[in-house]
Amino acid sequence: MGFAMGGLVGIATLGAGANRREIPDATRRWRLVLVLAALPTAALWLLEFGGGLNPGSLVRWAGALPLGIATAVWLAAVGRGDLR
């Protein structure tokens, strides 16, 4: 679901390419965005496998949504040539 939502955002911003001189800054920003988006997934994984808790499917889905969206939008930016 997150990847599908991010894909829609990527398609919607297809014409908005970044300035080529800003690529190193954009790459650094995207690294931070992807790491931050992965934190809910990592926390849930640690709780489930490290702590033996069962958060349930809805919580897993909500925890994975930010990473799915961020990954899809990042891939759209790579496809547009905004990142290398």
The pTM for the full model equals 0.69
Could you tell me the residue ranges of all domains in the chain?
Answer: 2-8+21-80
35-73 confidence digits (pLDDT tens): 999 999 999 999 998 888 888 889 999 999 999 888 888
d(CA 62, CA 80): 28
6-36 confidence digits (pLDDT tens): 666 666 665 555 455 555 677 788 889 889 9
Q: How would DSSP label each residue in 14-77?
A: TT-PPPGGGHHHHHHHHHHHHHHHHHHHHHHHIIIIIT-----HHHHHHHHHHHHHHHHHHHHH
